[in-house]
């Protein structure tokens, strides 16, 4: 199935909510880390191997997931927000910094290896008619859905990466030196963003174009917090994976195309919802039509199950969550569990 599809990105989304699958993956992670490291075995089959990162964080109360990546020479650790909804990886950077947000580590000291403006990695960050202000450097500006942004310049630096087969590699990859940041509404106190999107400038695309991993990115965000992220195809048995091709229409994002909203296992008739997988967003967002339909269905379902005579009937799911009646209602807990990750706030 690889033939003819090598340029298609796939997102493996493992939502592990059961303890059985958690344990299985934890085992996979441990055996992966047990490979003996030897840099002399550089010629080992890299394609077919993977790079694995443990993830820290949770949806609530933290509101984000982070991975630690070692960058620079000598390598220094940085905490990055993993974001499948954008391409560019950037660090808060001492270029010097005009506006930086409080970060866990000292600002990144940029390498002097600038990416030129006409370089394809730079072009991928700009519209086709973009005019280079200076040919020697690649200025970038990224904006996020929550209003946050980063402005900076593209440099190349060493990423220290451990493969699951024990090989250690230090490829030079392009990253943003962000010297002017505006925090968004969902501000995360981290050193930068790990861009995992489908574009050329994303870390996985760069590793793939250097022949260092196959273009597969997978993540497991555990319902109990934590999880792991991997690049490459060495950690799973492809025959046990259900593959869905990503839409060719929405090439910027991981989108399986349009979806229909189901509630309690039944179709609601709300169709043609364009869905994207975005690990950088804490909640699942619905458009207002789908949102209103879902809250209506929830209210109906809850009013059926909340015990009669309990104080205050079901109003909104968020209020219910806090009400005593709700605490007593086992079925409600069940419903809310099903909805973990849904943004039901207005
Ligand atoms: C990995 O190594 C550790 C320490 O050497 C050991 O305790 C653990 O059982 C090993 N795990 C696997 C899956 O081999
Ligand atoms: C990010 O992850 C690291 C482990 O990789 C953890 O020690 C650290 O506390 C996390 N940082 C934040 C700000 O969540
Ligand atoms: C890579 O492996 C080496 C040796 O096992 C270890 O010292 C280093 O911390 C690892 N780096 C990462 C990023 O895990």
Tokens of 168: 């250690």
- 72 alpha carbon, distance to own chain's centre: 22
- How many angstroms does the Cα of residue 165 sit away from the middle of ligand 1? 15
Instruction: State how far the Cα of 134 lies from the Cα of 116, in Å rounded to an integer.
Output: 9
Angle between helix 330-338 and helix 288-305 axes, rounded to 10 deg: 160
pLDDT tens, position by position, 250-300: 888 899 888 899 998 899 999 999 888 888 887 788 888 899 999 999 999
Cβ(38) – ligand 3 distance below 6 Å: no
Number of alpha carbons in the 13 Å side-chain half-sphere of residue 116 = 5
- How many angstroms does the Cα of residue 193 sit away from the middle of ligand 3? 21
Task: Kindly give the number of the ligand 3 atom that is closest to the alpha carbon of 75.
Answer: 13
pLDDT tens, position by position, 329-340: 444 444 444 444
Task: Kindly give the number of the ligand 3 atom that is closest to the alpha carbon of 77.
Answer: 13
With cut-offs at 50, 70 and 90, classify the pLDDT of residue 34. very low
With cut-offs at 50, 70 and 90, classify the pLDDT of residue 238. confident
Tokens of 283: 């909640």
Q: Which residue has the tokens 């195309």?
A: 257
Domains of the chain: 10-240 (2.40.70.10), 289-346 (no CATH)
Ligand whose nearest atom lies closest to the CA of 32: 1
Instruction: State how far the Cα of 33 lies from the Cα of 20, in Å rounded to an integer.
Output: 20
With cut-offs at 50, 70 and 90, classify the pLDDT of residue 48. low
Instruction: State how far the Cα of 316 lies from the Cα of 319, in Å rounded to an integer.
Output: 5
Whether the pLDDT of residue 240 is over 70: the answer is yes
Q: Which residue has the tokens 């399986």?
A: 256
Tokens of 231: 């690049």
Residues recognised as catalytic: 83, 278
């Amino acid at each position: 199935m690889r033939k003819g599809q090598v340029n298609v990105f796939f997102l493996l989304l493992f939502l592990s909510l059961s303890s059985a699958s958690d344990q299985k993956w934890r085992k996979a992670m441990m055996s992966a880390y047990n490979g003996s490291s030897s840099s002399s075995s550089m010629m080992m089959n890299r394609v077919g191997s993977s790079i694995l990162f443990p993830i820290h964080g949770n949806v609530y109360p933290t509101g984000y997931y982070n991975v630690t990546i070692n960058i620079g020479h000598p390598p220094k650790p940085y905490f990055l927000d993993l974001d499948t909804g954008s391409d560019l990886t950037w660090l808060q950077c001492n270029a010097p910094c005009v506006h930086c947000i409080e970060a866990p580590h000292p600002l990144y000291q940029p390498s002097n290896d600038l990416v030129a403006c006409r370089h394809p990695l730079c072009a991928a960050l700009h519209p086709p008619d973009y005019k280079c202000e200076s040919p020697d450097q690649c200025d970038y500006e990224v904006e996020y859905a929550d209003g946050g942004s980063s402005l900076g310049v593209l440099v190349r630096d060493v990423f220290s990466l451990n493969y699951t087969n024990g090989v250690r590699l230090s490829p030079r990859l392009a990253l943003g030196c962000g010297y002017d940041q505006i925090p968004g509404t969902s501000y995360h106190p981290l050193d930068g963003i790990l861009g995992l999107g489908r574009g050329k400038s994303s870390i996985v695309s760069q590793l793939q174009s250097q022949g260092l991993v196959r273009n597969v990115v997978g993540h497991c965000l555990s319902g109990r917090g934590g999880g792991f992220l991997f690049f490459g195809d060495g950690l799973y048995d492809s025959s046990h994976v259900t593959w869905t091709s990503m839409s060719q229409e929405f090439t910027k994002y991981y989108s399986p195309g349009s979806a229909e909203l189901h509630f309690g296992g039944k179709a609601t008739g709300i169709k043609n919802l364009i869905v994207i997988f975005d690990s950088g967003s804490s909640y699942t967002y619905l458009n207002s039509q789908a949102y209103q339909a879902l809250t209506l269905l929830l209210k109906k379902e809850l009013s059926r199950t909340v015990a009669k005579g309990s104080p205050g009937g079901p109003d909104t799911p968020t209020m219910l969550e806090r009400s005593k009646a709700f605490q007593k209602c086992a079925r409600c807990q069940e419903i809310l569990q099903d909805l973990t990750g849904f943004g039901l706030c207005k």
